Structure 1
Amino acid sequence: MSDRALELTRVANLDAARDDWIRLADAAGNPFTTWEWASGWWRHFGGDRELLVSIARRPDRTAAAILPLYVSATSPARTVRFVGQGPADQLAPVCAPEDLKPATLALRDALESDMGGWQVAIADRLPGEAGIAGLLGGRVVRSESSPVLHHDGDFDSFLASRSRNFREQVRRRERRLERDHRIAFRLTDDPERLESDFETLVRLHRARWGESSSAFQPPLDRFHHEFAGAALERGWLRLWTLEVDGRPAACWLGYRMGGAEWYYQAGRDPALEREAVGFVLMAHTVRETLDDGIGEYRLLLGGEGYKDRFANADHGLETVALGRGVRGRLALAAARAASAAPPVLRRQLRRLAG
């Protein structure tokens, strides 16, 4: 496809793009750009904000991409962002991987046409490996880690590729847990169990991280529960529970889509920290992924040390910002200055900004 072969058509609401969106999201293989994620996010967080959704069409009028933007703020500058941003760990135009470059150029064309009268445009968490951040013509304002494990082989061959110390830890920790306790790994595949299993995940996540994590703070908990239900129906959901002596000890939430396992969140019982139940469950999910013939395990946003023990690549995520007009450029300059301030001052500025 020619890089400039797409024509944009604005739609009034998300429903108007639903059928094309579902088809293109399946091709994209990213749970955070699915119709289910975006429509649920909009119900919970859209409020009375303005939608700016376009369909990018080929010359034959078939849809090649969805460009789902919205006006996130009107002060101090009219700002547009991707629908679904915030809890999403990776975003992009909704399209097949081979159409990502022309879709991004179509997004740039839309912004250059003054779509929505924007003054600041923010494209959050674009995949670094796609090389599309530079196509928007803005400035990369944030780079984040997003580790991934690529491996063509089963779990045993993966372990053989790692250090002796890591191999021994994986095997020893699970053997020790099995020796001292009765354990079971359970995957949620029954809609009747989803609510209780999801509540267990949230409870264990809060037990481990408390107020330091906002991942499941209301209303995010309701949004994620709703999306988990949709993902279960579509066959994407991977919600694992490790039970120790008949009681939940750790939970792992992810999605299987686009030939990859996407690890999103987890929780564990702090009382079983010495038993390394979180590590044991993580290793189990990697085993299940590789032994099922899925050669990509995405550990997603964040460069925590435990992720590096499993990952063998990190293509990163890039957030791009563009300023338009005097107000837009001043707003971006102020944001850059605030980001360089000490943490205490940044918190004070966020409180002042509401």
Structure 2
Amino acid sequence: MTTLPTARQESQPNKSSFATEDLTVKVLKSFEEAASLRELWDKLVQGLQAEVYGSFDWCRIWWSHYGRGRELRIFAFYAGGELVGIVPMFRERLWICGGLRIAKLVGCDFALAICSLLVHASGASEAIRRVVSYWLNEGGCDAVWLGPLNGSDSSVEHARLACQRLASEVEIVRDAEIGVHSSFHLPSNFEEYVQGLDKRQKQNFRRDMNLFGRTFKVESDVVSDEVEATKEFETFQRMHAEQWAAQGKLGHFQDWPRGLDFNRELIREHARLGRLRLYRLLADGNVVSYQYGFRLGDRLCWRLPARPAGKEWDRFGLGRLGLMKMIEDAIGEGIRFIEAGCGHYDYKVQLGAKEYPLRSILISSRRLGGRLRCRCIVLVSWLLHLLYYRIWFGRIAPKLPLPRRSLWKSWIRTRL
């Protein structure tokens, strides 16, 4: 979603090499002020082969839902008159630990997205150095958090190098792996993908597909039209909620504050832009699996699935079938990469996904008060995650006859 270097293959080599002394920066304070950059911003995201999370409209919509009480800064980097980097960030105060003033990447919380640092490699370390220096000096912050970052991306190394150049002013308080995310690298045809699976998975797919095909008339399609998608999303989100309700849980849209409103606006805007994808698997004309995602270039961000709950459906392996039909349809429309989201899921790995680390880099000023508050927030974050999320939210609350509630904002905002 955001900002500085990347290890990805850059598709615009004319912009990827320049001297750091040629790098200039403009600091913007609103998305209205940045609106003139919209087209160039999105071209940069695609040129760096980054995800839709970094696009202008994703960041703008995220900010409209989650920017309250936060102060926006958008760093636009230029070299030779061309836009070579865009770094949307914000400042907020975490009142725990004496009021830590911290700068973060736009989109880093509330939406389960992965951050990338969108600057061409030649200027990445220098861009990060300037951003960090800005926040810890003019920006009046105690700390800067870069995360969650793709740990296999060169963003991490560029951030470390930037901190080395600022060694007299900053220190890295935390540089840690905080989980994994998975991705599918797709071949040019579906049969080649299937042949790449191990013997057991190929047999499972063919067995389930044969059983499903003998029982129903099977079809699949993709909804992307703006009018149709808005209506279809409501059916999808209800199915998703019912699937999780059968397990005593709320599901994504109720777990995350403003989750439904945020995604409804994403749907409207990205359908208009031709990026929305709702992959459907139908049995006798009825939808029995949805896969919800967004396309940008030849890349797909797969957000969420949904399928009917109940033993009568479990025997068909709809989770696996729905995913594989999405992969088949995605390959058919020229998609070569699927970002499959955060967290470890056995079925994704079994079906060919590769896992990559997610990393968190927390940078503190060397001022004593800031350093102490920064170390305090690391401890508080760990305790909240253990006591609230893992024990209460994950284990105890689902077993109690109490109404489920959305995730605490204090937990979300302190996950560093």
Q: TM-score, normalised by structure 1?
A: 0.89
Q: Percent identity?
A: 18
What secondary structure sits across from 2:32 in the alignment? helix
**Distance change >3 Å, CA 28–CA 213, structure 1 → 2:** farther
Q: Tell me whether 1:330 sits opposite 2:372 in the alignment.
A: yes
**Distance change >3 Å, CA 26–CA 310, structure 1 → 2:** farther
Residue aligning to 1:91: 115
Identify which range, 186-195 or 276-285, moves more after superposition.
Answer: 186-195
Query: Quick one: distance in 1 between partners of 2:215 and 2:409?
Result: 53
Q: Tell me whether 1:69 sits opposite 2:69 in the alignment.
A: no
Residue aligning to 2:42: 25
2:355 maps to which of 298, 310, 314: 314
Residue aligning to 2:260: 221
Residue aligning to 2:402: none
1:41 maps to which of 54, 62, 65: 62
Q: Tell me whether 1:208 sits opposite 2:243 in the alignment.
A: yes
Residue aligning to 2:342: 301
Residue aligning to 1:275: 316
Shift of 1:5: 3.6
What secondary structure sits across from 2:152 in the alignment? helix
Residue aligning to 2:227: 192
Aligned length: 349
Query: Quick one: distance in 2 between partners of 1:342 and 1:146?
Result: 22
Shift of 1:3: 4.4
**Distance change >3 Å, CA 237–CA 249, structure 1 → 2:** same
**Distance change >3 Å, CA 327–CA 170, structure 1 → 2:** farther
Deviations 1:254-278 (A, max 9, x none): 1221422221111111122222222
**Distance change >3 Å, CA 101–CA 346, structure 1 → 2:** farther
Deviations 1:118-165 (A, max 9, x none): 112111222223222232233324432122222333111111122111
Give unpaired runs (5+ residues) of structure 1: none
Deviations 1:89-145 (A, max 9, x none): 2112344xxx04624531321221324211121112222232222322333244321
Residue aligning to 1:51: 72
CA RMSD of aligned residues (A): 2.5
Give unpaired runs (5+ residues) of structure 2: 1-17, 164-171, 393-406, 412-416
Superposed, 1:174-185 pairs within 5 Å as 174-185=209-220
Shift of 1:353: 5.2
**Distance change >3 Å, CA 261–CA 162, structure 1 → 2:** same
What secondary structure sits across from 1:262 in the alignment? strand
**Distance change >3 Å, CA 123–CA 184, structure 1 → 2:** same
Shift of 1:18: 2.2
**Distance change >3 Å, CA 188–CA 264, structure 1 → 2:** same
What secondary structure sits across from 1:146 in the alignment? strand
Moved over 6 A (4+): none
What secondary structure sits across from 2:192 in the alignment? helix
Superposed, 1:109-128 pairs within 5 Å as 109-113=130-134, 114-128=137-151
Q: Given residue 314 of structure 2, which amino acid in structure 1 is its aligned partner?
A: E
Q: Given residue 370 of structure 2, which amino acid in structure 1 is its aligned partner?
A: G
1:252 maps to which of 291, 303, 309: 291
